[in-house]
């Protein structure tokens, strides 16, 4: 499956997909009150969410940064994370304002681990 339903709250339905750009899972609410809700085509294999999905925050450490930290070299400077995409028919189109290496590319959604 390309997405998985998270079972956290009976009042809110949330889907998860793995983002190959950021290396993190992104959550999209498809039903509920008091939360932003996206449209969903109902497919677990070829999902479409509308409108676009925007995730912001702080980027995770790279493997090299983690190794340096474990050697006692201190924490790396925080880097802003911006992942902006359209998920359409099982593919993820990364917009040009993404801060990761897949900005501007369209790729298949990976299987949820």
Would you write out the chain's pLDDT as a tens digit for each of its 113 residues? 999 999 877 889 999 999 999 989 999 999 999 999 999 999 999 999 999 999 999 888 888 999 999 999 999 998 899 999 999 999 999 999 999 999 999 999 999 97
Burial of 87 (0-12, 13-18, 19+ CB in 10 A): buried
Assign 37 to helix, strand or coil: coil
Give this prediction's pTM: 0.86
- What stretches of 9-105 show up as alpha helix (H) in DSSP? 63-70
Assign 66 to helix, strand or coil: helix
Q: Is the bond leading into 51 cis (omega within 30 degrees of zero)? A: yes
Is-contact 98 82, C-beta < 8 A? Answer: yes
């Amino acid at each position: 499956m390309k997405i998985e339903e998270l079972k956290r709250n009976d009042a809110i339905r949330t889907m998860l997909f793995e983002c190959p750009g950021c290396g993190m899972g992104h959550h999209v609410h498809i039903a509920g009150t008091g939360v932003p809700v996206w449209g969903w085509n109902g497919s677990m294999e070829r999902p479409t969410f509308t409108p676009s999905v925007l995730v912001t925050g702080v980027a995770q450490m790279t493997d090299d940064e983690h190794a340096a930290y474990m050697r006692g070299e201190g924490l790396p400077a925080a880097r802003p994370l911006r992942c902006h995409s359209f998920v359409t028919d099982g593919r993820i189109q990364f917009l040009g304002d993404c801060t990761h290496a897949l900005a501007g590319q369209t790729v298949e959604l990976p299987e949820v681990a």
